[in-house]
């Protein structure tokens, strides 16, 4: 069974803070790495800290709610079929018709949108929320998506009321293991993700600052390149960027 009491780290700026970690019964300090002005403390929580559960907490109800939510999410992902583009523990992204869009009479929906999945939106348990509309407003919709690896994606959203030819996109981005900031925006962005997926780039190299402990004691701050690359081994990518389970066999023609 995997232990939930993993090592934690704290950057200490003063002797007073260090004394708190050494004297408090909630912490079991396992290592101290001292620098010239700061120190890095590695510690675990003791049984005293883990036993402090608020009286109003009901573990059974909490477990049921999270379990039930994941079952409903899994059901939604199954119904989404090939229109599902991304899924996580509490959210998913689906290709669907834009709410409120009224096309011309001669417009023909593409095959995957002729019978769209009906999504029940709301604020109550079991209902879905549109995170794009909540963040940017009802005029903004997601139109482009790319994901080179797990927990790493870029969702491009645009204002449908904007009639300009060269539209301005906003991006909702995630990048596991990398910090997103003004320093990395020229390297880690929607276009670079696309280049990774289309194999125009072997990887994206980003300089990162890391702590490295010395054997004789002390901490060094070093800058080293960290690489982001296309990693997709859980399913097979087919020619049109759809995916299939390993071992999948198409149904025989009738």
Domain locations in the chain as residue ranges:
6-52, 56-125, 130-254
Query: Nearest 5°: CA angle at 118, between 100 and 157?
Result: 50
Quote the pLDDT of residue 50: 61
Nearest Cα to Cα of residue 124 among 82, 172, 179, 69: 69
Is the whole-model pTM more than 0.85? no
Q: pLDDT digit string (tens) for 116-166?
A: 888 888 887 778 888 888 888 888 999 999 999 889 999 999 998 887 777
Q: Is 189:212 a contact under the CB 8 Å cutoff? A: no
């Amino acid at each position: 069974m995997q232990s939930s009491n993993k090592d934690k780290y704290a950057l200490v700026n003063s002797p007073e803070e260090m004394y708190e970690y050494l004297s408090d019964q909630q912490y079991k300090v396992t290592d101290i790495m001292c620098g010239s002005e700061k120190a890095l403390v590695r510690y675990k929580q003791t049984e005293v800290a883990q036993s402090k559960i608020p009286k109003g907490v009901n573990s059974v109800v909490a477990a049921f709610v999270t379990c039930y939510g994941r079952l409903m999410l899994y059901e939604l992902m199954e119904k989404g079929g090939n229109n599902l583009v991304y899924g996580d523990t509490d959210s998913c992204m689906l290709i669907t018709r834009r709410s409120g869009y009224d096309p011309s009479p001669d417009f023909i929906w593409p095959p995957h949108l002729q019978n769209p999945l009906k999504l029940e939106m709301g604020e109550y348990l079991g209902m879905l929320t549109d995170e794009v509309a909540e963040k940017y407003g009802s005029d903004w919709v997601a139109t482009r998506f790319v994901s080179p690896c797990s927990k790493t994606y870029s969702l491009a959203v645009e204002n449908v009321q904007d009639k300009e030819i060269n539209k301005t996109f906003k991006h909702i981005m995630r990048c596991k293991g990398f910090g997103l900031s003004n320093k990395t925006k020229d390297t880690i962005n929607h276009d670079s993700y696309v280049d990774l997926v289309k194999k125009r780039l072997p990887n994206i190299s980003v300089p990162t600052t890391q702590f490295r402990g010395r054997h004789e004691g002390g901490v060094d701050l070093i800058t080293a390149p960290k690489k982001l690359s296309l990693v997709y081994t859980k399913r097979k990518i087919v020619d049109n960027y759809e995916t299939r389970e390993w071992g999948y066999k198409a149904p025989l023609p009738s």
